[in-house]
Structure 1
């Protein structure tokens, strides 16, 4: 389809495609343990199915409602009997629930630890213009999204696998860098802040010697017809729809060694991964797809060229 937004790749996808297929050997998740927040329905559930198809050994589904978690678990286990699925009704804004769920999954994997975290749980919050915003609701939504990120991030650091590298996919939103319509200030602020939180977690992991680097990717998952999207009027307002398999496959691809050069980058799932790979040197050299101060000449290590602090 023709790209409805500016795109760095000539090809714009609204559905999955061959390069994202879980049947690709280089996308194999054999022996991997994957935890997905917001995993009961929508993008989270589709992502769980995709990782199971790629051979994941263990998948944890966390979400507020037990029913969808159980249904998704049953569906995965029917289709992919090699994958063991763990579920835990969890409100990610409640630290005790997050800690309990992560600990239980760690034990479920027999102490293997988490290789991949897909952080998909979020809320939109009040959809009102700033002049009509009530402070408690406005700040409450921001706080809820950040509490979820903090508690999830802390638990992941505690229970991640002791391997050379683990991966976090921050299911973010284009609202972090684009104003589409009035009434989304609270959500926009929350998603920008979530980007900075996960970016900080990845940066700080460089200082940890016991465990390996945490590679972090931030994604705009597309315009997918989910409960949250409908709450925001997404598909109806936009006039087009992306299939749920697209962000699921894109997330899988980002965990592969081929995507290491996109560590820390903010990416749209609609962008073609083969074209992104062809842009690797340009992306590195120009510091593309970072939310940063435009014009700062970044060097190879991410610092301003010529700056000795």
Structure 2
């Protein structure tokens, strides 16, 4: 990722990781208190599946997992259909009734704009707003879905005191992108808005309740979605960046929630960062209020 500008955050720690290792291995982040209940949306496959698996390996006593399709959840044995307000309300109620608490909520469900067939016959992601007619659907899942989870699970997080009380949105480095030449406008802007949502939730809740909120770039990994990118007419551009292990993010999240890390709450975090080196910058991160999106003047 050396070709990205410094503002994209890949130079925050001298060491970058492509897989979970050392302090980010789930086996090194065993939960300290039982019960410990984790909700992961979009857990049927890909990154979400691996996040759920990582928490299981870390010893979570309860997992609530959701996906938009039954087939995706066959391996995880639980079905929650397409996320909407009514389903999120029911999911929160069922979680409270079954477990009586929630410790970590991971808003992982996400989509990218649909492929188009361009005038030149190429099959690819849209390059601009005229080509990208999928913004309402992308925002509905990526941003509104995160909003609904926060709105209906924050009360349950707040009712589970003396624990980590973490709400995590799986964001993306594409939230830094200011054009659509690599990934579509709808996806990029939805992830940028997701980052600001996390910052706002921190400002609204952390001081009063102790809840913590994180926006996490999970790495650039081969998933069922990104595998399709390779098949597109311009798919070769993905070969240089799809280098991270699919279990990277899950491991990092088990580290992130192994303690209440309020100094990282409200901020954008890159799963590639070396967490030991990151902790070494703790005072600087707090004093300079780093890893937030601000206008340069």
Q: TM-score, normalised by structure 2?
A: 0.83
Task: Give yes or no for contact 1:64–1:89 (8 Å, CA) kept in 2.
Answer: yes
Paired position in structure 2 for 1:281: 283
Residue 128 to residue 25, structure 1, CA distance change in 2 (3 Å): closer
Give, in whole Å, the separation in 1 of the partners of 2:92 and 2:269. 27
Q: Could you say which residue in structure 2 is the equivalent of 1:162?
A: 160
Paired residue for 1:237?
Answer: 238
Asked whether 1:125 is paired with 2:127, we answer no
SS in structure 2 at match of 1:293: coil
2: CA distance, partners of 1:169 / 1:131: 29
| 2:63 equivalent in structure 1 | 59
Partner of residue 95, structure 2: 105
Q: CA deviation at 1:105?
A: 2.0
CA contact (8 A) 2:42 2:66 kept: yes
Whole-angstrom distance in 1 between the partners of 2:129 and 2:113? 16
Match of 2:50 in 1: 46
Per-residue deviation, 1:227: 1.9
Deviations 1:180-202 (A, max 9, x none): 75251111111111122232223
> RMSD over aligned Cα, in angstroms?
2.5
SS at 1:11 equivalent? coil
CA distance in 1 between counterparts of 2:88 and 2:174 reads 26
Q: Aligned-pair distance for 1:29? A: 6.0
Q: After TM superposition, give the deviation of residue 153 of structure 1 in Å.
A: 1.2
Output the CA distance in 2 between the equivalents of 1:66 and 1:57.
23
Partner of 1:190: 190
**Structure 1 stretch displaced more, 120-129 or 137-146:** 137-146
Q: Is the 8 A contact 1:103 1:159 kept in 2?
A: no
Cα deviation for residue 116 of structure 1 reads 0.2
Q: Which moved more, 1:234-243 or 1:6-15?
A: 234-243
Structure 1 spans left out of the alignment, 5+ residues: 74-86, 296-309
Residue 168 of structure 1 aligns to a residue whose secondary structure is strand
Offset at residue 245 of structure 1 (A): 1.5
Distance change (3 Å), C-alpha of 1:231 and 1:292: farther
- Taking a change above 3 Å as real, the CA distance of residues 235 and 17 of structure 1, as seen in their structure-2 partners, is farther
Structure 2 stretches lacking a partner, 5+ long: 5-9, 115-124
Contact 2:113 2:126 in 1 (8 A): no
Query: What is the CA–CA distance in structure 2 between the aligned matches of 1:235 and 1:103, rounded to whole Å?
Result: 45
* Residue 116 in structure 1 maps to residue 107 in structure 2: no
By relative contact order (CA 8 Å, sep 6+), the higher-ranking structure is 2
Q: 1:186-225 maps to which residues of 2 (within 5 A)?
A: 186-206=186-206, 212-225=209-222
Instruction: Check if 1:90 corresponds to 2:90.
Output: no
Cα distance, 1:286 vs. partner? 1.7
C-alpha displacement at 1:236, in angstroms? 6.2
Separation in 1, partners of 2:254, 2:138: 29
Give the secondary-structure state (helix, strand or coil) at the position aligned to 1:10. Answer: coil
Residue 71 of structure 1 pairs with residue 72 of structure 2:
no
Are the equivalent residues in 2 in contact too, given 1:23–1:54 (CA < 8 A)?
yes
Q: 1 CA distance for matches of 2:27 and 2:142?
A: 34
